[in-house]
Amino acid sequence: MYIAIAGNIGSGKTTLTEQLTQRYGAKAYYENIDNPYLGDFYNDMSSWAFQLQIFFLGSRIQQTMEMLSSGEKNIFQDRTIYEDAHIFAENLHSMGLISSRDFDTYMKIFDLTTNLIPQPDVLIYLRASIPTLISQIKRRGRDYEMNIDEDYLLRLNEKYENWINNIYKGRLLIIDKDVDDFVEHPEIIDRICEQLETMIGEK
């Protein structure tokens, strides 16, 4: 099975990926946070937005090619290529931080790539409010995230909700992170696994 985990910055994607990977003895593919443009981006978004997103897109394409050639039976992916485009790049474009010309170039590369890769068997979406996101961002303490603007996170949440409700067409499992804290309450993982197995069995 191929399970992808989606959600805003600080929603708990990596933690859930780790827990599910351990549960199923599966292969995990994590988001590459070693983007050399991240620090520059958070300090000066308008100058570095396009470079940031192109690097993430290239990294995601490379990761997807590795997934397809791995031969692994069970795969869990931390963040998807769809989010790179429909959430982050689109948000930066709507904010005027990526020009229309650059955004069109980006989307042409994205469209070409997504025609060549399979959709996840199930997409897990971690829905979280801004206070929950801020709390978890502070808890993990990445220096380059300490100055993230709350309005920026709010815009991303709005993009996620639009994508989930109006664009994404695959099998979807929504987890309300404000209520279902699987870090504090590990038994929630049992329920998530039961739901995943039911959904996979219905495929």
Q: Which residues have a catalytic role annotated? A: 78
**Pick from 84, 82, 88, 91: nearest CA to 117:** 82
Q: Alpha-carbon distance 154 to 129, whole Å?
A: 8
For the chain, give the number of residues. 203
DSSP 17-56: HHHHHHHHT-EEE------TTHHHHHH-HHHHHHHHHHHH
Q: Alpha-carbon distance 100 to 92, whole Å?
A: 10
**Pick from 124, 127, 128: nearest CA to 170:** 124
User: Could you tell me if 191 and 43 are in contact, meaning their C-beta atoms sit under 8 angstroms apart?
Assistant: no
Q: Alpha-carbon distance 129 to 113, whole Å?
A: 31
